[in-house]
Amino acid sequence: MTTVTPAMSPPDPSTTARLLELKNVDAGYGPFRSLFDVSLAVSPGSVTALLGANGAGKTTVARVATGLVRPTAGEVWFAGNRIDAMKPYEIARLGVVHAPEGRSVFASLSVKENLELSFRRELGRAGAGDALGRAYELFPRLGERSKQVAGTLSGGEQRMLSLARVMVTHPKLLVADELSLGLAPIVVDEVYEHLAAIRGAGTAILLVEQYVGHALAISDAVVVLNHGAVVHRGPATTFDDIAEHLL
Ligand SMILES: Nc1ncnc2c1ncn2[C@@H]1O[C@H](COP(=O)(O)OP(=O)(O)OP(=O)(O)O)[C@@H](O)[C@H]1O
Ligand SMILES: [Mg+2]
């Protein structure tokens, strides 16, 4: 009896290993165009740093990936779904969490209420209680301050609050926009330790960052934007390798 071994063809790199993919995306705000033919991909479980000067279009890419800005041309895919016409909450349900630029908590709600809101949205009422306990285990400081109004937390504590929901709900992708902006260096280190743990738990990250050194240290790949266009794409190596593209 002969055994027939099926011919193994190599995986098609255009269809495998892409969790998030922007293909030739143009986007903007009203008549103002912010992104020009942007293509980039994030593989499952990996970290892609999105770098570039102020106004380069990084936040706009983050908004396109999470449905807050709709592209005027091109396609956006996530985990096999075309998402560029989907609403932000539909994209969130597929497993995308957005930690937006700035202070992204509900300022007038307590720490506990902020956490419960996102856990209920992402896990349903039944799962929310357990999730709260896990969040306080991971971030004891949030437990100590559970009744404090989130708007009065320090900048670093507010970022912890954003990250707590990611670490507990294990999304497929975290889109993190300048999590370290305005934080003291020691707090930035703490934020990056949490990002490493998030990555360790299997969540891919699209990491928008100004601190290039920190971003490269945790990233597998790097994409550099300049005036709304991709000017460099490659493995995350050293600052020297990408410095010329950041100018
Ligand atoms: N809501 C908006 N309305 C009009 N123009 C906008 C809006 N948001 C951003 N832009 C413009 O789009 C361009 C890209 O902005 P974007 O916020 O994506 O840049 P960025 O790379 O995130 O910059 P930064 O590092 O300063 O956060 C900029 O020229 C900006 O002025
Ligand atoms: Mg920005």
CB of 29 shorter than 6 A to ligand 1: yes
CB of 159 shorter than 6 A to ligand 1: no
Residuewise pLDDT in 10s, the chain (247 residues): 444 444 444 444 444 579 999 999 999 999 999 999 999 999 999 999 999 999 999 999 999 999 999 999 999 999 999 999 999 989 988 999 988 877 678 899 999 999 998 888 777 788 788 889 989 988 899 999 999 999 999 888 888 898 888 878 889 999 999 988 888 888 889 889 989 999 998 999 999 987 788 899 999 999 999 999 999 999 988 777 788 787 7
Pick the residue whose CA is nearest to atom 26 on ligand 1.
54
Domain-by-domain residue ranges, the chain?
20-105+172-246
- What pTM, to 2 d.p., does this model score? 0.88
Q: What are phi and psi of 134, to 5 degrees?
A: -65, -40
Pick the residue whose CA is nearest to atom 9 on ligand 1.
60
Q: Which class would CATH give 20-105+172-246?
A: alpha beta
Whole-number Å distance, alpha carbon 223 to ligand 2 midpoint, is 15
**Dihedral sign for Cα atoms in the order 144, 149, 153, 157:** positive
